[in-house]
Amino acid sequence: MPTCHNTLSPKPCACVNAHWRALNYLPVEQIYRPDSPLFKRPLALADITCMLLGHRRMVPRQNFICVNPNRVINKHNLDMIGTCGPGRGGQAVVAHAYLKRTHSEACPGISHDRAGLQKLFRQFLFSGGIASRASPEDPGSVHQGGELGYSLVPSFDAVFENPNLVVACVIGDGEAETGLPPTAWRCNRFPDPVTDGAVRPVPPLNSHKMANPTVLARITREEPAQLLRGCGWTPLLVKGHEPAWLREALATVRDTAVEQIRAAQKEARATGQVVRLRWSMLVLDLLRGWTGSKEAESFPTGGAQRAHQVPLKLLRDMHPPDFRDCACEVLEPAAPGIGDTRGLTSSLRDVATFGDEQRNVCVLGANLALSDSLNALFEMTDPQEDAANNPNDRCLAPTGRVMEMPGEPQREAWLEGYLPAGRHAIFNSHEAFICIIDPMFNQHPEGLMVAAAVPWRGNIASLNCLLASQVWRQDHNGFSHQEPGFVAHVVIKKADPVRVCLPPGANCLLSVMEPCQHSQLCVNVVVVGKHPAPQTLAAVSTVREHLPEIRIRVVNLVGLMRLQPETEHPHGLQDRNFHKTFNRNKSVIFSFYGCPWVIHRLVYRRFNHHNVDACGDKEDGTLTPLFDMAVLKELDRFHLVTNVIDRPLQTDEKGLALKRRLKEKRMEPRQYIRLLGQDTPEICKCAGHPRPETT
């Protein structure tokens, strides 16, 4: 713990404190997007945006770290930049750029008055606006990352061949538990004090990450200190909750670090002799949700996992059980569902309960189980982690059926040892993050095929991968999280062990997961969405209403590999069954969320493949509601109907007139979205009730 020496004089201290408070206000207003900035009138419920997204948990800490270096920069005449690793701290970056007028220089319409503030707030997580993490639209953003783990490595990249630069790197609590930081800690061996600059990391000791305590915060303080010293750093711990004392302590530590850097660089550049030093590192120990309310609805928030979510309340101050028991009631065909994973969560709870005694079932996730509506799992188990348990923790235990840790490579590596030991597991992730394990995935199905040919090897449970959020249907992550390449990567593997399932609803997901959990020596990739996707059904209803002479059939393709012939894949359809479902000489339009070439690759041996048109993902996207995203991908109901009209023999005057009307009508929802930031009520409903067939 550093000793304070009255480093700060009263006037600069008061200015920094006022700046920090303003920085903390702006991100909260970005989340709520009120119509009355600066609270010029009492806040009403109607002032709050209809879709609350974004997280405040890291913002005060991030702002506190980033605002205080201004004094050091002026005192030592430094060339300094800051890098920020917290995954949902984008609104803090925007707040800094706005107060320093950098944002207004890049976006002249966002002025420094109430009108400018309203535009600043409105663009956050709004259609065509900016995402909740630092993105290319944010002035000062270096890159948009993707999977966590990217702030410390680019910090070292920045100082190479930049001898006067100092980078202050704020490392995210989730980032600290991913694959890159253990390697990045050792990057301090590479910068040359003669020709390169210096990096000063600020690793976290936050009490919590998303749904669980952080690993570093729940071990003794000696352990992270020993880790960092072993990597060549001199950690300086600063712990507290009083801003005035913390500001003084940080000023003392920063002056010490800068003086050490300057002295080492001066000596090396004067003598040419380089002696490896242990650079100082600031380790800041703060409670999660710092400066926010202590509780909401009688539940603790400060220093607890609830500080992660949108702070609206704060501002007010195997033989598993029968999966059919968990089915959702369907009142009418094509009725909007409750969310695909909401039915599955009860089934997973029952499976985990059944396997609890033998301890042979596990769910591996990235602190996303609650976000993915897998809440029922925690009715029978707590996440397993051998760490200190505070009274405010929602759930944490030394033993459990769920293990959560950010970083897909780490969890995939766990599975590589867990499954061969005769146990069962589900790998829960999002499609935006899963591509990082592509090289690891390459080896698993190949290993399964080799193992199956060895007589003395017994069968092992399949690797079941549940991707609970489709790529470009990400509500608030924007373009960087819209890459559907994992399914394309899976289907190019040898067919025997690979399965890809695309269940269209909650009950179908239950029926798909049942055989997956019983299967052996396979890789089962199941992709579902968090929200219903009625575009295909709405398109069919439009065709039947306006062009009744066109006979049209809807087929839900649940098993993607069914498109291949039975000679290519064990689940492939025989030609006669394929033609019975898709016809031998009729147009076939696939509304596919992934890469269109995947469909063409799977059907190219079919007799009717020349009549197949795959509508799929296009390399285009932004932060916008689901329908607008479908329009960008040309997978909305209007584009799909137009595609039907453009088929041979369908283009008569009646069809062309409908095509023109649809082109005009397509713009109405987009204008509504640009104005209010949400899909129209008409779009949110699934028009019509065609009865789909299921293959």
**DSSP letter for each residue of 338-397:** S-HHHHHHHHHHHHHHHHHTTT-EEEEESS-TTTTT-GGGGGT--BB--S---TT-SS-B
pLDDT value for 110: 86
pLDDT value for 312: 46
**Those residues with Cβ within 8 angstroms of residue 248's Cβ, 6 or more apart along the chain or in another chain:** 4, 6, 7, 8
**pLDDT higher for 205 or 691?**
205
pLDDT value for 599: 93
Distance of alpha carbon 50 from alpha carbon 36, whole angstroms: 15
Instruction: Indicate the residue type of 552.
Output: I
CB 418 within 8 A of CB 464: no
Lowest mean pLDDT among 19-28, 142-151, 165-174, 444-453: 142-151
Classify 204 as helix, strand or coil: strand
What are the pLDDT digits (tens) for 664-683?
888 887 788 777 777 777 77
Q: What is the mean pLDDT of residues 90-118?
A: 83
Q: What is the mean pLDDT of residues 370-384?
A: 78
Lowest mean pLDDT among 175-179, 334-338, 537-541: 334-338
Distance of alpha carbon 559 from alpha carbon 499, whole angstroms: 7
pLDDT value for 302: 65
> Residue 589 has which token pair?
């339009």
What are the pLDDT digits (tens) for 206-253?
766 666 777 777 778 788 888 888 888 888 888 887 888 888 888 888
Distance of alpha carbon 47 from alpha carbon 489, whole angstroms: 45
Burial of 404: CB neighbours in 10 Å, binned 0-12, 13-18, 19+: buried
Distance of alpha carbon 173 from alpha carbon 175, whole angstroms: 5
> Residue 592 has which token pair?
């596919």
Q: What fold does the segment set 535-694 form as a domain?
A: Rossmann fold (3.40.50)
What are the pLDDT digits (tens) for 542-561?
899 898 888 888 898 999 99
Number of neighbours of residue 303 by Cβ within 10 angstroms: 23
pLDDT classification of 564: cutoffs 50, 70, 90: very high
pLDDT value for 313: 42
> Residue 483 has which token pair?
């890459």
Distance of alpha carbon 656 from alpha carbon 550, whole angstroms: 14
pTM of the model: 0.69
What are the pLDDT digits (tens) for 414-457?
787 678 777 888 888 887 788 888 888 887 887 888 778 877 67
What are the pLDDT digits (tens) for 56-81?
667 888 888 888 777 888 888 889 88
Bridging pattern class, strands 295-296 and 299-300: antiparallel
Q: What is the mean pLDDT of residues 640-658?
A: 81
Number of neighbours of residue 270 by Cβ within 10 angstroms: 9
- With b for 16 or more beta-carbon neighbours within 10 A and e for fewer, the 115-130 pattern comes to ebbbebbbbbbbbebb
**Those residues with Cβ within 8 angstroms of residue 24's Cβ, 6 or more apart along the chain or in another chain:** 59, 60, 63, 291
Distance of alpha carbon 578 from alpha carbon 457, whole angstroms: 36
143 DSSP 8-state letter: -
pLDDT value for 530: 58
**Torsion angle defined by CA atoms of residues 2, 217, 70 and 54, in that order, rounded to the nearest 10 degrees:** -160
Distance of alpha carbon 464 from alpha carbon 443, whole angstroms: 15
**Those residues with Cβ within 8 angstroms of residue 425's Cβ, 6 or more apart along the chain or in another chain:** 361, 362, 363, 364, 415, 418, 419, 461, 463, 464
Domain segments of the chain as ranges: 10-294+303-308, 337-527, 535-694
Classify 523 as helix, strand or coil: strand
Please choose, from the candidates 118, 100, 116, the residue with its C-alpha nearest in 3D space to the C-alpha of residue 108: 116
pLDDT classification of 292: cutoffs 50, 70, 90: low
Q: What fold does the segment set 337-527 form as a domain?
A: Rossmann fold (3.40.50)
CB 341 within 8 A of CB 529: no
Distance of alpha carbon 617 from alpha carbon 626, whole angstroms: 14
Q: What fold does the segment set 10-294+303-308 form as a domain?
A: Rossmann fold (3.40.50)
* % the chain with pLDDT above 90: 6
CB 315 within 8 A of CB 28: yes
Please indicate whether the domains covering 10-294+303-308 and 535-694 agree at the CATH topology level.
yes
Does the pLDDT of residue 397 top 90, yes or no?
no
